[in-house]
Amino acid sequence: MKFAQDIVLKPVITEQSMSIVRDQKKYTFIVAKNANKIEIKKAIEELFKVKVSKVNVLNYDGKKKRVGYNVGKTPSYRKAVVTLTENSKTIEFFDSLM
C-alpha cells in the first residue's frame, strides 16, 4: 500500500505554475515516478481535502551536465498538473505564496 506522502513529493513553485493557479485552479506537483493518475488523484484529495476533476502527467528525462572532464546526468522526474473542480476549495499552501 502506498501512502499519500510517498506519492506527492513536492510542489512546483514557478511563475508559470503560479499564474495557472490564479487563472484556472491548476496546481503542479512533483510526484513519484511509478504513480499513476488514479493514485495521484486520491493522494491529492487525501492530503489537501479538495476535489480533483482532472490529472495530467508529464515525464521528464534528466539532462546531461558536464563539470570539467566528468559527465553526469541530473535525475529524471515526473510532474503532475492537477485541476480542481469548480466548487472545490483552494489549497492553502499556494494561497500563502500569492
Q: Answer yes or no: is 98 within a domain.
A: no
Strand partners, 71: 66
Q: What are phi and psi of 93, to 5 degrees?
A: -60, -45
Q: Return the closest-CA partner of residue 55 out of 23, 76, 78, 75.
A: 78
Q: Which three cell numbers stand for residue 64?
A: 546531461
Lowest mean pLDDT among 15-19, 31-35, 77-81: 15-19
Number of domains in the chain: 1
Q: Answer yes or no: is 59 within a domain.
A: yes
CB 95 within 8 A of CB 48: no
- The CATH number for 15's domain is 3.30.70.330
Mean pLDDT, rounded, for 55-79 = 95
pLDDT at 1 over 70: no
Q: Answer yes or no: is 97 within a domain.
A: no
Determine what percent of the chain is predicted with pLDDT higher than 70.
Answer: 99
Q: Answer yes or no: is 12 within a domain.
A: yes
pTM as predicted: 0.87
Q: Write down the pLDDT at residue 61.
A: 95
Q: Which three cell numbers stand for residue 80?
A: 503532475
Domain that holds residue 36: 4-89
- For the stretch 31-54, pLDDT in tens is 999 999 999 999 999 999 999 999
